[in-house]
Chain A
Amino acid sequence: MIRYTYLRLAWFVPTLFVIITLSFFLMRVVPGSPLATEENLPAAIRANLMAAYHLDRPLWEQYLRYMGNILRGDFGPSFQYNDYTVTELIWLGFPASMQIGGIAILAASVIGVMLGTVAALRQNSWLDHSIMAGAMTGITIPNFVMAPLLTLLFAVVLGWLPAGGWGRGAWANKVLPIVALALPQIAYIARLTRGSMIEVLRSNHVRTARAKGMPETIVVARHAVRGAMLPVVSYLGPAIAGIVTGSVVIERIFGLPGIGRYFVEGALNRDYTLVMGVVIFYAVIIIVMNLIVDLLYAVLDPKVRLG
């Protein structure tokens, strides 16, 4: 397993290299310049702007320069937000995205597994049906509909929570974004857990445990949950991708200072440096998370032998 971890880490750099190269050239091929304006820009000023971002150099030179800067940890200045460097913007936005996304995924896992387990244990009862129907609803309502509905209810009608903003990271401001982001994931995880739990509960070792007269709670806690967690753990990879996509919507609707929105806004505004920075940043997170998920999987499932 340690060998496997090293192997995966060894692939880290080439993977990142491919992603950066791919993103860099793709971004430049797309029409639209980051410097286009409605005003008529005098040639001298355009030339200066181009020079400031090295856009006047041949593409390969820009690429080499960019790679060189990245090695030094410099993502360059943002095209859109002139007063900040991309590195600063990412570090300023990371805490908000991290907290909202991290808590959402944690809450989704815990609540999802709990709901799924309950549903599986009471299979085909009204409880099971209502949990599953609720989960289905969570999956079928797009979060850009869910989020405004939540704010309308909890902020405008009931007045319990703020409708948006970060408020220096106050808890009240985080509740609705976390809920809106976690809901679909809770639904997926609950469904997965239920399915695999039903399977595990019928497996031989659980039957044996029961036959030995072990109390049901211990059977479930010790034998069933561990086995049932496997598909949930392997779902965490896609779940993280889902959270990233979701954060684009949630951060925009709730007006949160995260980096999810830079993704779309940066890409649409051709903010080359900002988008590259965010892509690289997320790629690193996704690679690391995928590795953790795989290792976790190996720990949970003795049958899997890595390497």
Chain B
Amino acid sequence: MTALATRSPAGTRGRSLWQDALRRLARNKMAMISLALLLVIALVCVVGPWLSPHSMTRVYWSRVSIPPDFANQHWFGTDGNGRDLFVRTLAGGRISLMVGVVATLVSLVIGVTYGAVAGYFGGRVDDAMMRIVDILYSVPFIFFVILLFVFFERNFLMIFVAIGAVVWLDMARIVRGQAISLKSREFVEAARATGVPGWRIVTRHIVPNLLGPVVVFVTLTVPQVILFESFLSFIGLGIQEPMTSWGVLINDGASSMSTAPWALVFPAAFLALTLFCFNYLGDGLRDALDPKDR
């Protein structure tokens, strides 16, 4: 990820560049398959729970921890509480995907603004702002996430904020690097020469031109955030019942993997497939957006 910061964009990016990139992306088979699979997974997670006759909270006392059972339409079996795992896996997917996407967006908003401002204004502002980032980088951040979680009693929203607040540092660094190289470009200098105010240059010219690396960063960050959520579940800071997430399900499943492997296999497969797809899509986007790699 940080690798991106070291790359300088080749030339100004107009609309034709984006069309080029999209065309290149469309030719990347793995990336397209990944994109399609991601859409399918998202769709299944949203729609799937309605296809099952079971609700995600219903407890079947007579069918506790049973393997996949088609007669009773427990396609993925049931958990240790007798709840249907098919519905729970998909409902957990909603949460995991949402955590991944929303937390990334949070980091995006903070990181892009912060990085663009620091990079564009440079000088003292840049020094001060980047020093803060350096300090925050030195903080063992799991500690802060844990405390934030405990403090807000694992409020659902806090998951996004806590994780997003940690990931934005990378984003800010990447964007700053890009902004520095962008601000010496002709079109920015031209805008400055005609008296456009600084903040407008940032919002009109700098931010839109940062999209390339940002998009790549996003696709690579979402899977990391999803993984981090599963780590939080492992240390006992998962989402509150009766809601669930892939992380919570996998952590549950891992503790009973030798006696009830289905409780681990299904959510883990969904998680792995999703991460796979995000990573391949990210790679594809990077190749597509960076003509040097062609």
User: How far apart sit A23 and B146, CA to CA, in the bound complex (Å)?
Assistant: 12
- A34 CB to closest chain B CB, in angstroms? 13
Chain A CB within 10 Å, residue with most, of B131, B143, B251, B271: B143
User: How far apart sit A196 and B147, CA to CA, in the bound complex (Å)?
Assistant: 38
Pair count A-B, CB < 8 A: 136
Q: When the two chains form their complex, are residues B146 and A231 in contact, meaning their CB atoms are under 8 A apart?
A: no
Asked, given contacts A231-B2, A264-B146, whether A148 binds B134 with beta carbons under 8 Å apart, the answer is no
Q: Tell me if B109 counts as interface (CB < 8 A to partner A).
A: no
Which residues of B are at the interface with A, using a C-beta cutoff of 8 A?
1-3, 5-6, 131, 134-135, 137-144, 146-147, 150-151, 170, 223, 227, 230-231, 234-236, 247, 250-251, 254, 257-258, 264, 268, 271-273, 275-276, 279-280, 283, 286, 292-293
Q: Tell me if A282 counts as interface (CB < 8 A to partner B).
A: yes
- Chain A residues with Cβ below 8 Å from B135 are 14-15, 18-19
Which residue on B lies nearest to A297, using beta carbons?
A: B6
Task: Please give 9 more A-B residue pairs, beta carbons under 8 A apart, in addition to A19-B139, A230-B6.
Answer: A14-B135, A31-B150, A31-B151, A145-B257, A145-B268, A199-B292, A235-B2, A241-B141, A248-B235
- Chain A residues with Cβ below 8 Å from B137 are 237, 286, 290
Q: Tell me if A167 counts as interface (CB < 8 A to partner B).
A: no
- Chain A residues with Cβ below 8 Å from B234 are 142, 144, 249
- Chain A residues with Cβ below 8 Å from B147 are 26-27, 30, 267
Number of interface residues of A (CB under 8 A): 55
User: How far apart sit A72 and B272, CA to CA, in the bound complex (Å)?
Assistant: 48
Q: Tell me if A11 counts as interface (CB < 8 A to partner B).
A: yes
Q: When the two chains form their complex, are residues B231 and A245 in contact, meaning their CB atoms are under 8 A apart?
A: yes
Q: When the two chains form their complex, are residues A238 and B170 in contact, meaning their CB atoms are under 8 A apart?
A: yes
Which residue on B lies nearest to A184, using beta carbons?
A: B227
Chain B CB within 10 Å, residue with most, of A18, A152, A202: A18
Which residues of A are at the interface with B, using a C-beta cutoff of 8 A?
11, 14-16, 18-19, 22-23, 26-27, 29-32, 136-137, 139-142, 144-145, 148-149, 152, 191-192, 195-196, 198-199, 202, 230-231, 234-235, 237-238, 241, 244-245, 248-249, 263-264, 267-268, 275, 278-279, 282-283, 286-287, 290
Chain A CB within 10 Å, residue with most, of B141, B142, B223: B142
